[in-house]
Amino acid sequence: MQFKFWILVSLLLVGAPAASADVMPLMRVLTLQDYNTRVVVVGILLLGIAAGVIGSFMLLRKRALVGDAVSHATLPGLCAAFMIMASMGGDGKWLPGLLLGALVTGGLGILMVLWIRSQTKLKEDTALGIVLSVFFGMGVSLLGIIQKMRQGHAAGLESFIYGKTASMLAGDAMLIGGAALVVITTAVLLFKEFRLLCFDEAFAKSQGWPVRALDIVMMLLVVTVTVIGLQAVGLILMIALLVIPPATARFWTEHLQTLVWLSAITGGISGLIGALASALVPNLPAGAVIVLVAAAFFVFSMLFGSRRGVVIRFFEHWKLSRKVGRQHLLRALYEWVEESSGTGPDELAAERESMGISFESLLPERSWHPRQLRRWLRDAMGQGNIYDGSDGLFHLTREGWSEARRVVRNHRLWEIYLIEYADIAPSHVDRDADMIEHVLGRAMVDELEALLRTRYPHLAMPPSPHTLSLAGGRS
């Protein structure tokens, strides 16, 4: 036994240097020991944050695909800038010049979308499709011309189509980071104006706000983020960085400020992981990793988001279905006692203990399926609303009677409201009241109570409109 132990220790000691050698590059990247890695990571991190921030406003404006049109509209600008710089004796690969050309055609594409939308009856999605296809077609045509140029082999423009973070120099990353900071700062300074524009453009226009100018500024920020993200993510995948982070944040909150923060964090972390992966693994496209990480965040949020997640909504729907079934059962028991006793509402409390109903008699009250009724009975007994007496009948408990009375009262209050204000016939009002009574808030119940006291001050419990005509109570 001791011999085997020392063999194991020897093997671990022999393997330790190899394991250490494998861990060292990973730790070097994670701790950002290389200068170029630090610069690139910061630049991509700021790009992800900027895309998340401005993408939130575009999502709320229902213009998520604007970034797609902009990214494709930048291709002819890249090609034109390369051709101009090459014709002037350069190699055509100067990044600021290429980004300037992309910015010009990207901005032109946005202006074309706005012009088509305002001057024609075409919808915005049609305008986006036209601009996207036309500008991208122009870019592909110019790419064909560049391939025949003497400098065409050195163009490297494919890095802007698919993204290539590893090819960025320190100056390029600093340029991207600086532009991202400008976008973030502008969005923060105009947060109030952008919020008003997203939620009520007509009100903003009526109050004298420069809606058109604000819209153009927002679009220019989208163009800027798209252009600076071309080398990191590429024009094909840049749309994902503008759309996925805000869509992910939407599953967690209903507040704009929180939405922007969560979207920025998601975009930043996605960019950070993509940049680290690109630095760690040679020839790994950072843009694809960024999009995949963002997509993983989206899937997780779609399932488990606290506001709109599939699991949460399923659980809430299950709780509401359970509540509705239990309330229907209690109302059926109350109305059966009310109908069977023939006494007024004040005398019913004395009847609840002595009166019980069998399973077979309760089943046709609401046309329940036997298995469904057994489920609601088990649920109501678990909540302490009913009990199965020694006589084999189901009786309401004191707590169950109080809850049943509240449920019936809300139902009949809503029936009175529908008859009074929606002009629905008493014979048809029951089903409409069934659909809304389970989600009545406290404010609505108070309003209905006030209506009952005003119209029918002599009634303690509203009678069923199917047994008492309320026509005489209308004003």
Identity (one letter) of the amino acid at 13? L
Its CATH class, for the domain covering 23-305, is mainly alpha
State in Å, rounded, how far the first CA of the chain is from the last one: 98
- The tokens for 325 are 């079934």
| 249 token code pair | 């944040």
Structure tokens at 448: 């209905």
What pLDDT does residue 246 have?
A: 94
Q: How far is CA 440 from the centre of its chain?
A: 26
Looking at residue 471, its pLDDT comes to 42
All CATH 1.10.10.10 domain ranges in the chain, comma separated: 317-473
**Quick one: pLDDT at residue 283?**
72
Total-model pTM: 0.75
Buried b (16+ CB within 10 A) or exposed e, 33-61: eeeebebbbbbbbbbbbbbbbbbbbbbbb
Nearest in space to 337 (alpha carbons), one of 278, 400, 271, 251:
400
Euclidean distance between CA atoms 81 and 102, whole angstroms: 8
Distance CA 40, CA 8 (A): 43
Please name the fold of domain 317-473: Arc Repressor Mutant, subunit A (1.10.10)
DSSP 106-170: HHHHHHHHHHHHHHSS--HHHHHHHHHHHHHHHHHHHHHHHHTSTTGGG--THHHHH--GGG--H
Per-residue pLDDT of the chain (475 residues), as tens digits, is: 544 444 444 444 444 444 444 566 667 666 666 777 787 788 888 889 999 999 999 988 888 778 788 888 888 988 888 888 888 877 777 778 888 888 899 889 888 888 888 888 888 778 888 888 899 899 888 888 887 776 655 556 666 776 676 667 777 778 888 888 899 999 999 999 999 888 888 888 888 888 888 888 888 898 888 888 887 777 777 888 899 999 999 999 989 999 999 999 999 999 888 888 877 877 777 778 888 899 999 999 999 988 888 998 898 888 888 888 888 888 888 888 777 766 555 455 555 556 788 888 888 877 788 888 888 888 888 888 888 877 778 888 888 888 888 888 777 777 777 776 666 665 555 555 555 555 556 676 677 667 666 766 665 666 666 555 444 444 3
- Paired tokens of 328: 């229907």
Nearest to 412 by CA among 472, 459, 471: 459
Quote the pLDDT of residue 20. 47
User: Which residues in the chain are classed under CATH 1.10.3470.10?
Assistant: 23-305
The DSSP bridge partners found for residue 352 are none
| Helix pair 370-382, 310-341: axis angle to 10 deg | 90
* Residue 396, H or E segment: strand 394-396
**Can you give the pLDDT at residue 317?**
86
Angle at 176 between CA 173 and CA 182, to 5 degrees: 140
Residue 395 near residue 333 (C-beta atoms within 8 A): no
Tokens coding 354? 């002595």
Crossing angle between the packed helical segments 124-147 and 66-87, to the nearest 10 degrees:
30
Cα 94 from Cα 87, distance rounded (Å): 13
Q: Which residue type sits at 307?
A: R
- The conformation of residue 34, written as its DSSP 8-state character, comes to S
For residue 18, what pLDDT is reported? Answer: 45
CA distances from 48 to 55, 187, 232, 272, 379 (A): 10, 14, 10, 8, 49
Nearest to 64 by CA among 263, 297, 308: 263
Count of beta carbons in the 10 Å neighbourhood of residue 446: 10
